[in-house]
Amino acid sequence: MKSEITLQENIIKAVEALYGHTLDLNQSQVQRTKKEFEGHYTFVVFPLLKISKKSPEATASEIGEWLVANSSIVSSFNVIKGFLNLTVAADCWIDLLNEINAAPRYGITEAGADSPLIMIEYSSPNTNKPLHLGHIRNNLLGFALSEVLKANGNRVVKTNIVNDRGIHICKSMLAWKKWGNGETPESSGKKGDHLVGDYYVLFDKHYKAELSELKSKGLSDKDAEANSALMAEARQMLRNWEAGDTETVALWEMMNSWVYAGFDATYKELGVDFDKIYYESETYLIGKDVVLSGLDKGIFFRKEDGSVWADLTDNGLDQKLLLRADGTSVYMTQDIGTAKLRFDDYPIDRMVYVVGNEQNYHFQVLSILLDKLGFRFGKDLVHFSYGMVELPEGKMKSREGTVVDADDLMEEMISTAKETSKELGKLDGCTESEADKIARIVGLGALKYFIIKVDPKKNMTFNPKESIDFNGNTGPFIQYTYARIQSVLRKAAELGLIIPNTLKSGLNLSVKEENLIQLVGEYAAVVKQAGDDYNPALIANYIYDLAKEFNQFYHDYSILKEDDADLKVFRLMLAANVGKVVKSGMSLLGIDVPDRM
């Protein structure tokens, strides 16, 4: 932020004038003064004691006195031990607000033709079941991370890898073939992904019954699994598919088409999209070729049963299976093939995988294998590892059909938002159509914000009821704050009040007003930090702090009823720019804000 840089430059001048020593910008960094102390910025002088050869208090006082005497930016200071708290002159805050007001996309850095190209993979669904709550966290984090990295001046390609082949897909196909009686999404009235998911659950039900029967005859768990006729049929179906059997491929294409239509509808409702979709059915053969090439070069080795492995003991890891004895691929093989295809398609500078933390080891191995194979992007891949999400009731299991379906959850959130909004009188005066639109924005905003505000690395519990509260650190609270600002601006326009391009200097601002400008000004730094740390939660929590600070200001100070005309337009400009930053920040998180509530 400009005022911080100017302040740092002045501190450098002060230290040079007082002690004949030149600091760089890193050594003159300031931080926001804690709320319990007076001042805007705090400079820590302890690292300077060797050059000042004085106590912390004396050093801080000398620097503070020099700044007040020689810098127009500092109006006063106070010292607490080695902490120099600086109060910035009121006109500097007016200059900062003018600067923010003049930038329609304040805090956002536009990408250029030569900006780094980052590919971000997220979603990665399986075509044997619909998207669930875990997928929601993945999609929301992947989309938000993409927008945040774009806002930091990067070119971004959003990509999805669809797991459309493998034994789990064959389980749904086999169950439909055995027990489906020709059922379709049209005949059942179900979304295609839900229908196919039902057959995945049905396979597991029959498989467990078969295992139970085998074990009742005295077989161990391991022997029962080895003698399962149902699982043997599923494995044979996978071999048939890989061999290109016409009937198996036709069934696969039909059921996958049902799932894709269902996924598209869910993605649209969730508000996420992709620039490029890859399919494992198209990448696994490339992966097999790369692995076999690595085998020929002695990078990998073959065991007696014909399976192909990588020996990673030199890397402090174990041996990793790459091709099964029957020649079929594993996930690692497919990821190697997908990586090669992506880097053939795009001149990617960085590849980011948004995948849960249970796959930390997988991506550690993938990075090593790609590097061993000679791909330059191997060492630099980023695994955006995030924690699991649960409901208050506990964990979910796809096979048992106990997952929280994404479509059902979104529908429930929208419905709850409408009921809650009506109870609180937020929809008074709205038509039914307007009420539905607002309920959708609020319901989905509540869901998205509650998930994104949590540090991605942490496991979390999603509480639908808590997320839709209009008070506290929630999406609806922020959305309502934005709508309140828009209401003020509409009333101002009706009164013929116009916000000037530039405010007059010499205004007598309150501490709360100065602090609010300071907070708005920090948006650019927060966006940068969120990009550097791969952490959209930083923006979510900053926007909450800004909304909370604005509401306190709104409670304490009149805007439209202020008698001083200059103060009135100042407060209007301040409110308008708070709104601008709230909308910008929420947009980076994929969250809409309503103009009316």
Q: What is the mean pLDDT of residues 294-298?
A: 95
The number of distinct structural domains making up the chain is 3
Can you give the C-alpha Rg of the chain in angstroms? 30
Q: Which of 402, 351, 413, 372 is nearest to 146 (CA)?
A: 351
Whether residue 116 contacts residue 267, with contact meaning beta carbons closer than 8 Å, is answered with no
Domain enclosing residue 33, as ranges: 2-88
Average pLDDT along the chain: 93
Whether residue 144 contacts residue 158, with contact meaning beta carbons closer than 8 Å, is answered with no
Token pair 């804690």 in the structure block, residue: 34
Of the residues 356, 375, 390, which one is the last residue of a structural domain? 390
CA dihedral 68→69→72→75, nearest 10 degrees, is 30
Do 433 and 370 lie in one domain? The reply is: no
Do 383 and 427 lie in one domain? The reply is: no
Burial of 454 (0-12, 13-18, 19+ CB in 10 A): buried
- Which runs of E-coded beta strand occur in 262-412? 276-279, 301-302, 308-311, 319-323, 350-356, 382-386, 389-390
Q: What own/partner pairs with CB < 8 Å and gap ≥ 24 does 369-375 have?
A: 369/310, 369/320, 369/332, 369/336, 370/336, 370/339, 372/294, 372/299, 372/310, 373/290, 373/294, 373/299, 373/336, 375/339, 375/340, 375/343
- For residue 214, being part of any structural domain is answered with yes
Do 237 and 374 lie in one domain? The reply is: yes
Buried b (16+ CB within 10 A) or exposed e, 188-214: eebbbbbbbbbbbbbbbeebeebbeeb
Do 465 and 358 lie in one domain? The reply is: no
Do 423 and 334 lie in one domain? The reply is: no
Rounded CA-CA distance 531/148 in Å is 6
Domain of 182: which CATH number?
Answer: 3.40.50.620
Do 377 and 234 lie in one domain? The reply is: yes
Of the residues 66, 88, 110, which one is the last residue of a structural domain? 88
Do 129 and 51 lie in one domain? The reply is: no
Do 481 and 524 lie in one domain? The reply is: yes
Q: In what helix (H) or strand (E) does residue 341 lie, and over which residues does it extend?
A: helix 331-345
- For residue 597, being part of any structural domain is answered with no
Burial of 300 (0-12, 13-18, 19+ CB in 10 A): buried
Percent helix, strand and coil across the chain, each rounded to 5? Answer: 55, 10, 30
User: Which pLDDT value is given to residue 596?
Assistant: 87
Q: What own/partner pairs with CB < 8 Å and gap ≥ 24 does 260-263 have?
A: 260/127, 260/162, 260/192, 261/185, 261/191, 261/192, 261/193, 262/130, 262/185, 262/191, 262/192, 262/193, 262/194, 263/125, 263/130, 263/131, 263/193
Do 374 and 425 lie in one domain? The reply is: no
Residue 219: pLDDT over 70: yes
Residue 47: pLDDT over 60: yes
Q: What is the mean pLDDT of residues 179-205?
A: 96
Helix (H, G, I), strand (E, B) or coil at 207: helix
User: Which pLDDT value is given to residue 1?
Assistant: 56
Helix (H, G, I), strand (E, B) or coil at 327: coil
User: Which pLDDT value is given to residue 394?
Assistant: 52
Domain of 53: which CATH number?
Answer: 3.30.1360.70
- For residue 399, being part of any structural domain is answered with no
pLDDT-based confidence at residue 396 (cuts at 50, 70, 90): very low
pLDDT higher at 300 or 2: 300
Do 281 and 370 lie in one domain? The reply is: yes
User: Which pLDDT value is given to residue 330?
Assistant: 87
Q: How far apart are the first and last CA of the chain?
A: 33
pLDDT in tens, 463-501: 888 999 889 999 999 999 999 999 999 999 999 999 999
- Residue 479 has, within 13 A of its CA and on its CB side, a CA count of 33
Residue 326: pLDDT over 70: yes
- For residue 419, being part of any structural domain is answered with yes
Burial of 82 (0-12, 13-18, 19+ CB in 10 A): middle
Do 359 and 419 lie in one domain? The reply is: no
pLDDT in tens, 564-582: 999 999 999 999 999 999 9
Domain of 526: which CATH number?
Answer: 1.10.730.10
Residue 376: pLDDT over 80: no
- For residue 100, being part of any structural domain is answered with no
- For residue 109, being part of any structural domain is answered with no
Of the residues 390, 424, 451, which one is the last residue of a structural domain? 390
- For residue 408, being part of any structural domain is answered with no
pLDDT in tens, 223-273: 999 999 999 999 999 999 989 999 999 999 999 999 999 999 999 999 999
Rounded CA-CA distance 72/480 in Å is 39
Whether residue 187 contacts residue 195, with contact meaning beta carbons closer than 8 Å, is answered with no
- For residue 406, being part of any structural domain is answered with no
Do 328 and 470 lie in one domain? The reply is: no
Q: Which of 241, 260, 236, 243 is nearest to 251 (CA)?
A: 241
